[in-house]
Amino acid sequence: MVTTIQLNENVKRSLERMKRSNKETYEQVILNLINFVEEQKRRQEDLLIEGYKEMAEESLKICEEFKYVDAENLPEWEGNL
């Protein structure tokens, strides 16, 4: 089913500039934009995951270092946990 949508002239001009060729339709341009946005979201998610993994590794290293700290060298806390 084909649906007609209304576009302001400035939107049409923008879409026209994004065409890779004169034969490309507005629908193809919009689909390319959708695909581009989805790819960017996926890349951003991958980068976030990678960043969080690196942060987790650093946290583990810090935790490992604290394991070897002599309990006598720790400051005394109120209420001795």
Sign of the C-alpha dihedral, residues 32, 37, 39, 40?
A: positive
Buried b (16+ CB within 10 A) or exposed e, 56-65: eeeeeeeeee
Residue 77 predicted with pLDDT over 80 = no
Q: Tell me whether residue 13 is in a domain.
A: no
pLDDT digits (tens, 9 = 90+) for 6-25: 999 999 999 999 999 999 99
Tell me if 43 is assigned to some domain: yes
Task: Calculate the average pLDDT of the chain.
Answer: 88
Domain assignment of residue 17, yes or no: no
Q: How far apart are CA 72 and CA 74, in angstroms?
A: 6
Q: Are 31 and 46 in contact (CB under 8 A)?
A: no
pTM: 0.65
Indicate whether 40 belongs to any domain. Answer: yes
The CB density around residue 44, as the number of other CB atoms within 10 Å, is 10
